[in-house]
């Protein structure tokens, strides 16, 4: 399939336990059969309402059940039931264990940024134009 023949999602958001998006289908495509999967469980309440003002556009709505929320990473797949094509995934991250992972990752990124800054400064000192500027500024 060419990119123009594929469904496109936009405007994705998660608010008050409801994941929403806009699905644009190619001209002449049949109405979508959307399903949301959490592991091997199909989530209830998924809707795809056509936009009366925009042919081929549908507003998707997927309620995220409260019992799905727990520590760790929870993934929900949004897919076309007829083709099995994954259109989107919703990842929900929660818990103290995750907070430690995120902080460790952030510390590592800061250290890498400091390393890159030092390497860039060293590189600039080797370039004649930057050497003259450095001498003028007194650094």
> Which tens digits make up the pLDDT trace of 51-99?
889 888 999 999 999 999 988 889 999 998 888 889 999 999 888 767 7
Instruction: Based on the fold, state whether residues 9 and 57 are members of the same structural domain.
Output: yes
How many domains is the chain built from?
Answer: 2
Report yes or no: 18 and 62 within 8 Å, Cβ to Cβ: yes
Range of the domain at 126: 96-137
DSSP SS3 for 132: helix
Question: For residue range 26-35, what is the model confidence (pLDDT) as tens digits?
Answer: 877 887 789 9
CA distance 94 to 17: 14
pTM of the model: 0.65
Q: Is there a single domain that holds both residue 88 and residue 105? A: no
């Amino acid at each position: 399939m060419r990119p123009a023949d594929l469904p496109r999602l936009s405007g994705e958001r998660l608010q008050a336990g409801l994941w929403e998006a806009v699905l644009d289908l190619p001209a002449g495509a049949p109405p979508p059969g959307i399903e949301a999967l959490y592991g091997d469980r199909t989530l209830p309440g998924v809707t795809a309402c056509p936009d009366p003002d925009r042919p081929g556009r549908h507003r998707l709505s997927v309620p995220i059940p409260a019992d799905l929320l727990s520590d760790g990473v929870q993934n929900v797949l949004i897919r076309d039931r007829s083709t099995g094509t994954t259109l989107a995934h919703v990842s929900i991250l929660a818990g103290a264990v995750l907070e430690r992972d995120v902080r460790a990752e952030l510390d590592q990124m800061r250290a890498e940024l400091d390393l890159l800054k030092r390497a860039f400064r060293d590189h600039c000192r080797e370039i004649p134009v930057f050497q003259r500027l450095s001498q003028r500024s007194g650094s």
